[in-house]
Structure 1
């Protein structure tokens, strides 16, 4: 039996790197950035001050983001019930 390059076995990363990524991901605190809607000529984008570099970054959607500076954060609006 031959294996195609699309088989999962061919795309699997080394196990050591995967476990390191899981450990690093679980120890990093969840940063949250609050978006400011920006209406452009073609779509609505979301600007937010980066919790790491304190610069403004624009994104086209909400959720988990990787900023141009390399920071990882969650872009979400504050809940209405929180004061």
Structure 2
């Protein structure tokens, strides 16, 4: 995990990457490929973290590792889609 990216994300969105990794354990995952990503294949996931917050996380795979790109609180529309699935 890139420390600079994690610090930037904390300051911009108030979400720590250490909290955001919990979303990968939520069985109610709502994931899709980010078709707007140009440089690499990216995915967007909306899920709950350990604190019960609904987060939207952007990530990619590097070799066999998940690399977090950003994590933020889900928008109203993302929350609604997550809760209605």
Structure whose residues are more often helix by fraction = 2
Q: Which TM-score band applies after superposition, normalised by the shorter structure?
A: 0.3 to 0.5
More strand per residue: 2
In terms of Rg, which structure is larger?
1
Taking structure 2 as the reference length, what is the TM-score of the superposition?
Answer: 0.33
